[in-house]
Structure 1
Amino acid sequence: MRPLGEKSQSLVIGASGMVGSHIVRRLFSDGGQPIGLSRSEQQDARAEWIRGDLAHPQSISWPQVDVIYCTASARLLANALPELVTPSLKRVVLFTTTSISTKANSTDPELRAGIAEYANAEKDVTAGCDALGVKWTVLRPTIIYDEGRDKNLSRIAHLIGKARFFPLCGRGRGLRQPVHAEDCAVAAIQAARSVAAENKIYDLPGGETIT
């Protein structure tokens, strides 16, 4: 088996999304041609595209790759693992959410239930990888932004740009650490290449705390 390195063959699940598209771009810039999985047809020549739905893994002809990057649902990945793991696979890098560690004890029962589902799906992915002999790394980002593409910070910026003000409910004391989608991609690629990151979970906050 080839040692894991910059030229490793990679599959990006969620390759047309904010983080996944940055992973594809960076892997391509490193001289590789990653394989992207998308539910719709894609025209980006930086990747070889497979059209398919992770919810129906048995319908996909999974390629032989060294690394899988997954920015899609952890639950879907956990269910699909037996179908997509090939003998060449060495590492799975999964994105979940920092909320697993920061909101587990929320006073909102509905929010607690949702976070518990996230946590159980994450646990099922890592346990499935362990059972199949595949190393894994989990990255838990905070709120992700990517200029013009995200549905949170970019939406706020657009509103301020049009209205010249921003309506604020309450005192605005809540703190956030937004992290850029490209920084998430860099972290994922570095994690996949690091022996020290095997079977580890990392919170991935942005570098600045803002109200």
Structure 2
Amino acid sequence: MEHSVPSVQAPPPTERVAIFGAHSQIAHFLLSGLARQGHRVLALHRQRRPDSGGDAPGITWKRYSPDNLADVLRPGSGLQRAIHLAPLNTLPDILPTLANAGVRRLIAFGSTSTAYKQASGDHAERNLITRIAAAEQDIAERCTRLGIQWTLFRPTLTYGCGMDGNVAFIARFIRRFGFFPLVGAGPGLRQPVHAEDLAQACLLALANSATYSKSYDLSGGSTLAYREMVAEVFRALGRKARMPEIPLSLYRAALNWLRLLPGLRNLSPEMADRMNLDLCFDHAGATRDFGYRPRPFTLDELALRARSD
């Protein structure tokens, strides 16, 4: 199906929206999209802001910490809506501050990984997923008490700006070593979703009451095997596909060495195991309620760029 971008009604020019996680890959597309539609955007982040580039029209940048957020988001500032792109487990504790500042509409991002990582053999991974799942329930309950209309998005494997640990990681590995190892044949199905489509989902749902108090899985427009996804990265890089199949035992034995290399310290046996698992999710509810239509798996220079670019 051909990818199309549904039209979005422009909001009143007085509307103000706070974006948490403003340096994320979804925010890369979302900030300008909101500003083009007339929103006044407050881009919130916890990193040192890059020296290059000032405030774009309609976008104001603010660095914050949990300790000073109440000073950054003061009552009477005109803030009405918030989109939370930062880790979901950081959201519940700041909800009272958002409500006090005037926020009555919230979109937050979790992950479809809560559906399959709770049985992970990696203790740290399992603990993180447990916290995210608990945060989902906590957010729904607190928002109801605070009078905030909430929507939760759970995207699948996200790519698009060279900032992810999926497609961009595969591209970096191929550039460095010239091959990408598969544990087994890599038949597990994937639905990569472009960060720009997730930004568009926010624009479509923000003022749509049909999305209130609902959670949506947001998958991409293509379903392909892990092996096919890696092959697409090789093609986009102009490289011959070299995907040696190795046993899990050999992968485990090489892990201690691989983790010493820059950018590879987060490798785990569980990541290798999942190459052979189907991780597919249905986004029909999002299409029905707010016209979500993700593009097919598409790689461009931005999606493949090195993180330091």
The Cα of 1:158 is off from its aligned counterpart by: 3.4
Rate the CA distance shift 1:34–1:123 in 2: closer, same or farther, 3 A.
Answer: same
Distance in 2, matches of 1:101 and 1:167, equals: 26
Which residues of structure 2 form unaligned runs of 5+?
1-8, 227-309
Aligned twin of 2:121: 108
Q: Say if 1:14 and 1:70, in contact at 8 Å, map to a contact too.
A: yes
Aligned twin of 1:49: 61
Q: Say if 1:93 and 1:137, in contact at 8 Å, map to a contact too.
A: yes
Distance in 1, matches of 2:36 and 2:10, equals: 14
SS in 1 for 2:43: strand
State the percentage of identical aligned residues: 33
Aligned twin of 1:173: 187
Distance in 2, matches of 1:185 and 1:144, equals: 12
Question: Does 1:153 pair with 2:164?
Answer: no
Aligned twin of 1:25: 32
TM-score (norm 2): 0.61
The Cα of 1:112 is off from its aligned counterpart by: 3.9
Question: Does 1:6 pair with 2:20?
Answer: no
Distance in 1, matches of 2:179 and 2:149, equals: 48
Count of matched residue pairs? 207
Aligned twin of 2:72: 60
Rate the CA distance shift 1:64–1:123 in 2: closer, same or farther, 3 A.
Answer: farther
Q: Aligned partner of 1:98: which letter?
A: T
- Choose 1 or 2 for highest CA Rg: 2
Q: Say if 2:19 and 2:84, in contact at 8 Å, map to a contact too.
A: yes
The Cα of 1:172 is off from its aligned counterpart by: 0.9
Distance in 1, matches of 2:66 and 2:206, equals: 21
Which residues of structure 1 form unaligned runs of 5+?
none
Aligned twin of 1:91: 105
- What is the RMSD of the two structures over their aligned residues, measured on CA atoms? 2.3
SS in 1 for 2:82: strand
Q: Aligned partner of 1:20: which letter?
A: A
* 23, 26, 31: which one aligns with 1:16: 23
Distance in 2, matches of 1:163 and 1:73, equals: 31
Q: Say if 2:92 and 2:139, in contact at 8 Å, map to a contact too.
A: yes
Aligned twin of 2:265: none
SS in 1 for 2:203: helix
Rate the CA distance shift 1:155–1:96 in 2: closer, same or farther, 3 A.
Answer: same
Aligned twin of 1:144: 158
The Cα of 1:57 is off from its aligned counterpart by: 3.1
Q: Say if 2:10 and 2:37, in contact at 8 Å, map to a contact too.
A: no
